[in-house]
Structure 1
Amino acid sequence: LVIHEGDDLELDDTSRLPYALVKNLGHGRSAIVEMVRDTNSNKTYARKVFRNIYARNLEEAKRAFYNELQVMRRLKSHRHIIRIFATYIAQRELALILTPVATDGDLAAFLHTYRDMGPSHRDRVTKEAILWKAFGCLGSGLAFMHKQTIRHKDIKPQNILVHQGSVLFADFGIAFDFEHGRSTTTGHPNSFTRRYCAPEVADWDKRNSKSDVFSLGCVYVEILDALQPDL
């Protein structure tokens, strides 16, 4: 089986898939992310597989899957947002094939590594330049999201990847598309990270795209703290 960019496949099982597991990259409440190699092209991808899917919650899982798929395809033209290469559904396995695979992991790990470096470390200058550049890159990416009427809703260092000297937004699992409605939402948020969420999110109050801006501001503070800890 040869999978091309843009393919959305429905298969009877996973036996024909051309993906060989390279290593696990991480996991969350509802999905696991793996590095896989396409045995036809020898290219590597990140595969996000939705897990803990049973007959009783299959339709709910499919809604989340298609929501993330549609959101990411709307955002595919921006260089600081991870792209979907292809997707497949095989019985209860729902998977997004993503590109690129981040060379330096997520921003949280990158910041940790940078803080542990001594002032004379040979890679410190290179990593410092990446962090300074990240302010503009992330701001550009978020502005593009909001222009496309997408709220990310979970911006944090763990959902930002570092790849070949650049940063990319990732994990749009709870993103919200307000193209056909108001951007303001109320009620209990389905998920959030308290350390980075805006006060109105934590208080279950009215919230909109400005909540993303607050979260990105928290990320900026962490980057600046790593770059200039004496401020």
Structure 2
Amino acid sequence: MSADRTTTPEGDIHLFTANGVHYSLVRELAGEGPGERVLAQRHTPGGPGGLAVIKCLPPAARMAERRRMLEEARVARRLDHPAIARVLHVDTRARRPLVVMEYVDGLALEQVLRRAVRRHKPVSERFAAYVIAQAADALHYAHTLKDGHGRRLHLVHRDVNPSTLRISKHGEVKLTDFGAVFTRLPGRQRTPAHTLKGTVGYSAPEVLSLGTPEARSDIFSLGVVLVELLTHVHVLDLPHERPRTRLSGGFQRLLGKLWPEKSAWVDPARLGDRASRLHARDVEKVMAAVSAPLRAVALQALRVDPAERHATAAAMRDALRAFLAATGQPYGPREAVEEIREVISMASQARGEMETSPEYVPHEFRNGRSVRH
């Protein structure tokens, strides 16, 4: 994108103009995969129009990468849900194909989790239930989306993890990044053989064994996130589990032959073996200090057999919202912001220093200003 940048008289770095909206550079963003990601300021005829994330492929991008970006954009433009980041503009015919998406000004759940680990105390059960329920609501919408003829598109996000869930500075939960989406749209880009999309550490066993992803694969991923929020333990990396020299089932044949698009801490076949052997007693042991209703939600979401998981993401959402209702106290965006402030403050105190992370943290998470809804 750098070759397309120009400097305006005001000193802003102008990136491009589309549909009467001017985009200027704010800062570059880290990200995996080909091309660049930058944060940009939108300038409309009426003034500043908010921030946006621009994903831009390199000029020499392969045709497969262009088609994948087009497919992501085609899917994302159909999604209209308050808990899903919106696509604002797509240009796949330009010299440098790009997608412009809504920027969720806040923190990735991964950043909140990292600070909770630093303070040696998980987030509250209500925070975890609120965030995962909102994510499940977004997933149910995506899973049940239909085309213009009323046919189900069978969308599967395939990359549900703490980095693709964001908490806005106003406490809203947003599901982001449909770059690994599976769909049955006509002309969809097929995944190359033995290639794994998404973050494999959160993938369901049927995905890791190269089976067809389904809606309940996303539910498994959401269950992994739920357990991690409540315990700081990743269920595919259990502290009491000993490494196996020989894998079970077909995973021995897949050892060294699975190619994750995102880096993994261990061979994906070993992760698949662990996921396929995940037992209820393992989850029970890790979640011994968690209340029974939330343990029950996690246990069902993490069943090895997809048919034994929640029938839909909506069913998982409803179970979590029932837990929140039973607490007798409201929990929503305002409470989420207040808890994130506390997590950041306590994490800093645990290190005996001010919050000095190089990551951008909105001031709404740093001080006592009121939260706008």
Q: For residues 32 and 44 of structure 1, do their structure 2 counterparts lie closer, same or farther at Cα, with a shift above 3 Å needed?
A: farther
Distance 2:50 2:34 in 1: 23
- Residue of structure 2 in register with 1:81 after alignment: 84
Question: Residues 129-172 of structure 1: CA distance to partner in whole angstroms, max 9, x if unpaired?
Answer: 65431121011111111101211111111111111202111111
Give the Cα–Cα distance (whole angstroms) in 1 for the partners of residues 128 and 219 of structure 2. Answer: 18
Alignment match, 2:107: 105
Farther off after superposition, 85-94 or 64-73: 85-94
Contact between 1:88 and 1:95, CA under 8 Å: does it hold in 2?
yes
Structure 2 residue aligned with 1:62, among 61, 66, 69?
66
Partner Cα distance (2:183, 2:212) in 1: 16
Q: Which amino acid aligns with 2:138?
A: G
Match of 2:141 among 125, 139, 144: 144
Displacement, 1:26?
2.2
Partner amino acid, structure 1, of 2:118: D
Contact 1:130/1:165, CA 8 A, preserved across alignment: no
1:200-228 deviations in Å (ceiling 9; x for gaps): 222223432221111111111112225x8
The aligned residue for residue 3 of structure 1 is none
Deviations 1:89-113 (A, max 9, x none): 57432222211x2232211012112
Task: For residue 186 of structure 1, report the CA deviation from its aligned partner.
Answer: 10
| Structure 2 residue 188 is matched with structure 1 residue 169 | no
Q: Which residue of 2 aligns with 1:9?
A: none
Which region of structure 1 is more displaced relative to structure 2, 85-94 or 195-204? 85-94
Aligned residue among 34, 40, 44 for 1:36: 40
Q: Which amino acid aligns with 1:106?
A: A
Find the residue that maps to 1:105 and give its secondary structure.
Answer: strand
Counterpart-to-counterpart distance in 2, 1:29 and 1:186: 16
Tell me how far 1:187 sits from its aligned partner: 5.1
Question: Matched residues, percent identical?
Answer: 25
TM-score, scaled relative to structure 2: 0.49
Match of 1:116 in 2: 118
Instruction: Kindly state the Cα deviation for residue 190 of structure 1 after the two structures are TM-superposed.
Output: 4.3
Contact 2:203 2:221 survives alignment (8 Å): yes
Q: Does 1:210 align with 2:213?
A: no
Partner of 1:46: 52
Change (3 A) 1:180 1:49: closer
- Secondary structure, counterpart of 1:157 in structure 2: coil
Tell me if structure 1 keeps the 8 A contact 2:85–2:104: no
CA RMSD of aligned residues (A): 3.1
Long gaps (5+) in structure 2: 7-15, 146-153, 233-286, 291-373
Structure 2: how far apart are the matches of 1:67 and 1:19?
23
Count of aligned pairs: 207
> In structure 2, the residue corresponding to 1:150 is in which secondary structure?
coil
AA of the residue aligned to 1:92: R
Matching of residue 72 in structure 1 with residue 62 in structure 2 = no
Of the structure 1 ranges 185-194 and 82-91, higher mean CA displacement relative to structure 2 is found in 185-194
Is the Cα contact below 8 Å between 2:182 and 2:213 reproduced in 1? no
Gap regions ≥5 residues in structure 1: 1-12
Separation of aligned partners in 2, 1:175 and 1:48 = 18
User: What letter matches 2:162 in structure 1?
Assistant: P
What's 1:193 paired with?
A: 199
How far apart, CA to CA, are the structure 2 residues paired with 1:186 and 1:212?
20
Matches of 2:36 and 2:222, distance apart in 1: 24
- Separation (CA, whole Å) in 2 of partners of 1:52 and 1:19: 18
1:10: which partner in 2? none
Partner of 1:160: 165
Cα distance change, pair 179–38 in 1 and its aligned pair in 2 (3 A): closer
Q: 2:95: which partner in 1?
A: 92
Contact 1:50 1:61 in 2 (8 A): no
SS in 2 for 1:34: strand
Task: Report if aligned partners of 2:57, 2:98 keep a CA contact under 8 Å in 1.
Answer: no
Conservation of the 8 A alpha-carbon contact between 1:186 and 1:204: no
Per the alignment, residue 224 of structure 1 pairs with 230
Question: Equivalent residue of 1:141, what SS?
Answer: helix
Matches of 2:35 and 2:231, distance apart in 1? 31
